[in-house]
Amino acid sequence: MRAKVWLAGWIFGIIASLLMSAQCFGAGFALWEGSARGNALGDAVVGRADDPSAVFYNPAGITQLPGLQVEAGATGIMTGGTVSSPGGTVNSPLGPVPDPLLRGSQVVNSDWALVPNMYLTYQASDCIWLGLGVFSPYGLSVRFPSNWFGALDSYYSEVQSVDVNPNIAFKFNDQLSVAAGFQAMEFGLDLQNRYPASLTPAIDPTTQIKGDTWGFGYNLAAHYKPCNWVAMGVSYRSQITEGGDLNAYLRQQSPYVPLNGYSPAHATVTLPDSVDMGVVFYPSDCWSWEFGGTWTRWSDLQSLVFNLDHPFPGMTSHTITEVKDWTDSWRFKTGLEYHLTPHVDLRAGYIFDQEAIPDSHADYVLPSNDRHYFCFGGGLHYGNVSFDLSYTYVLIEDRTVNNSQSLGYINPTHQTGENANLIAGDITYRFW
């Protein structure tokens, strides 16, 4: 009875943490930080899929887990970087406008962001397993001063998500397992910028679009181990269409020209589907090496359209449209694990993550570029308990954009010195 109460408290505590946490971004704004062990191995755990976080990476792999097991933890993320412009042209509703005064160098304001996770797996019979995951597949948090030179495009952007993902897995034999799951995702956003209808400093209102929506999808997965020294996996997560009611605000920062407005808003966002795959080799009892890749259909995100019940002052349309025109991207990864002793594991991994945002629609909502992840970590096992820790350094390539069409963006813009530090920890407990 005590174990059941403890388990219930653990689950609800993780869900509460997810609902309250602020997120940081990956390529596009996907979050792939599913577990400390997965982070240390560079997400190369789709072929392995041999701990409860397989619910996130490849649910078909949970057929390798006996009894009832629970895993919970979190990844802390700290990002940094500088955005600068020597001054040039700013994109206005009337087209590019020369403005050499809009220039400077601004450090991206960053705080530690927490990305929690929780997984539960249960062996119901010799051929059926059940799994549950609660995690954040998408997130974003970028903050600048409200009066910085790029505020016409954006000075604050935040995306949060919570995905509740139950799964059922079926084991055909010792070689092949398949799984299917249902995704219920809450998706929230908060986008703020200076009102781009005016470039006059004395009239300096800001706009905000904020709200939460729900969407639903599914996932499919397979795990195949033809022999003792190799295994492979593939996992598909469907598109999720998020649509619902939001709130749009217009606020005047200057006391000399009062200008305010509010309107209910409505929007639909299609979050992309993805395919994750991996092959793992076991050259000995102590070593394992996996390589794989993730393909994400970011081309689904062509634009964000917000329909306002009442247009803001100065607007002639009820619609605010932000063109994105993102492109599909790949995430290539590899990970190596060494069982140093029966109780200690050592891990390392590497990821190359392609950016999905083209120069033609770069913006300050998500200033980023291709990424290199250098991953390290280890695990401790004793009895029914396992502890996993990891550290990841993310090097984001410098970028210069000269031809962005995003409203309020300054051409040229330089993005330099961008990086991120990730620290993660998980605990896994096997009840029986």
Q: What is the DSSP string of 196-224?
A: TT---TTS-EEEEEEEEEEEEEEEEEEEE
Q: Which residue has the tokens 């964000």?
A: 304
Q: Residues 56, 133: contact at Cβ < 8 Å?
A: yes
Nearest-angstrom CA–CA distance, 322 and 207? 14
Contacts of residue 357, Cβ cutoff 8 Å, sequence gap at least 6: 28, 324, 326, 363, 366, 368
Q: Helix, strand or coil for residue 300?
A: helix
Helix or strand holding residue 56 (H, E): helix 54-57
What distance in Å separates the CA atoms of residue 240 and residue 219, rounded to the nearest whole number?
11
* Domain containing residue 282: 2-430
Q: Rounded CA gap, 325 and 184, in Å?
A: 26
pLDDT value at position 20? 41
Asked whether the CA dihedral 369, 40, 349, 301 is positive or negative, the reply is: negative
Kindly list the distances between the CA atom of residue 161 and the CA atoms of 126, 141, 212, 347, in Å, as whole numbers in the listed order: 35, 12, 9, 29
pLDDT on residue 140:
85
The Cα angle at residue 416 between residues 411 and 417, in degrees rounded to 5 = 165
Q: Which two tokens stand for residue 220?
A: 């499919």
What average pLDDT values come out for the chain (432 residues) when binned by 10 residues?
42 44 58 96 97 98 97 94 91 80 84 91 97 94 88 91 97 97 95 70 74 94 96 97 87 65 88 97 96 95 87 77 91 98 97 95 92 97 96 96 92 93 97 89
Any residues with CB less than 8 A from the CB of 428 and at least 6 apart, and which?
Answer: 51, 52, 69, 70, 71, 385, 386, 388
Question: Contact at 8 Å (CB) between 177 and 140?
Answer: no
The CATH number of the domain holding residue 205 is: 2.40.160.60
Closest CA to 357 of 293, 308, 413: 413
Q: What is the number of structural domains in the chain?
A: 1
Are 400 and 414 in contact, with CB atoms under 8 Å apart?
yes
Q: What is the pLDDT of residue 314?
A: 67
The pairing of beta strand 287-296 with beta strand 303-308: unpaired
What per-residue confidence (pLDDT) applies to 95?
A: 79
Cα–Cα distance for residue pair 161/111, rounded to 1 Å = 18
Question: d(Cα 201, Cα 399) in Å, to the nearest integer?
Answer: 29
Which burial class, exposed, middle or buried, applies to 283 when counting CB atoms under 10 A from its CB (0-12, 13-18, 19+)?
A: exposed
pLDDT score, position 262? 85
Q: Which helix (H) or strand (E) holds 81?
A: strand 68-85
State the DSSP code for 27.
S
pLDDT of residue 258: 62
Cβ(36)–Cβ(76) below 8 Å: no
pLDDT for 9:
43
Three-class SS state of 5: helix
